[in-house]
Amino acid sequence: MGELIVIAIGGNSLIRDSEHMTVYDQYKACGETSKHIAGVVEAGHRVVITHGNGPQVGFILLRSELAKDKLHEVPLDTCGADTQGAIGYQIAQTLGNELRRQQVASEVVAMVTQTLVDYADPAFVSPAKPIGPFYSEEVALQYKEREGWQVREDAGRGWRRVVPSPQPLEIIEEPAIRTLLEHGVTVVAAGGGGIPTVRGADGDLEGVAAVIDKDLTSCLLAKNLGASIFMMSTAVDRVALFYGKPEQRDLDRVTVAEAKEYMAEGHFAPGSMEPKIRAAIDFLEQGGERTIITKPDMMESALRGEAGTHIVP
């Protein structure tokens, strides 16, 4: 069996711009990405695909708010499950179609996935992850009073609800993912970082209102499965120093030590490239062979060493 690659695709990569945000637009964008993932599978690699869901969760929350006088609102953990199912369906179908066209014998299964977190995580004390639509300060404070939300001003753009973003500890469906991989199935799992779940004293699982960083969960999955390569797709060809400035310098090959140095110097934006670099470092320090960061349409060439930023031990 070929080497195992975990490919993390961003939720924003399914939305090209503000003019292409419909479900059909996202399906088409998903199909474009699936063409390149199919090339990776065709090359003989075993593949697990993870994905982001931030914009899509935001859409559900906004629909829920607009319809709150007519229908029940949707809890945040269920928003995660809904988007895992919808995006997973799009990936599984478009990738399955591509594999069939290329006459590659591999089934694709999308799995709704729970991720265990700890209620003692400091993130539950100090929620900081913005979600959903923007509000005026007055409306946001009304939600805080009426619904018990934590709210915060977000970079001068308005006020938003903030929720905990705890560390992922365990992927509940990991044994099932392993079984599918052993039978040659390409798996879509841990969408949006997984549904945040806590385990009670009696062992029962329960969903909680939180959002887990999908790169951290993808990294955890890659480590636990013993993946050789952890690939993260993003909006840029390569990671860069001095990004967006005249002196910008793209990075082809970086060691863990160099990545740590660049991160300490503040080259990677929090909430954007920094979580990817942290996940890359964690994966490599736990035995991974290589992390690749690149655009979806460059995944195949990046695996050949012809594109992307390659982070190595």
Residues forming the active site: 11-12, 129, 214, 276
Cα 117 from Cα 132, distance rounded (Å): 22
Cα 171 from Cα 275, distance rounded (Å): 19
Residue 129: φ, ψ to 5°: -90, 115
* 259, burial (CB in 10 Å: exposed 0-12, middle 13-18, buried 19+): buried
**DSSP class of 21:** -
Across-strand partners of 187?
A: 48, 109
What six digits make up the tokens of 132? 């959903």
Closest CA relative to residue 232, chosen from 255, 212, 214, 250: 214
Cα 290 from Cα 281, distance rounded (Å): 10
Cα 66 from Cα 22, distance rounded (Å): 17
Under 8 Å between Cβ of 215 and 232: yes
Alpha helices in the chain (DSSP H): 23-42, 54-66, 76-101, 137-147, 174-182, 214-225, 256-264, 274-285, 299-303
18 three-state secondary structure: coil
What six digits make up the tokens of 129? 């992850």
Cα 168 from Cα 150, distance rounded (Å): 22
Across-strand partners of 232?
A: 8, 293
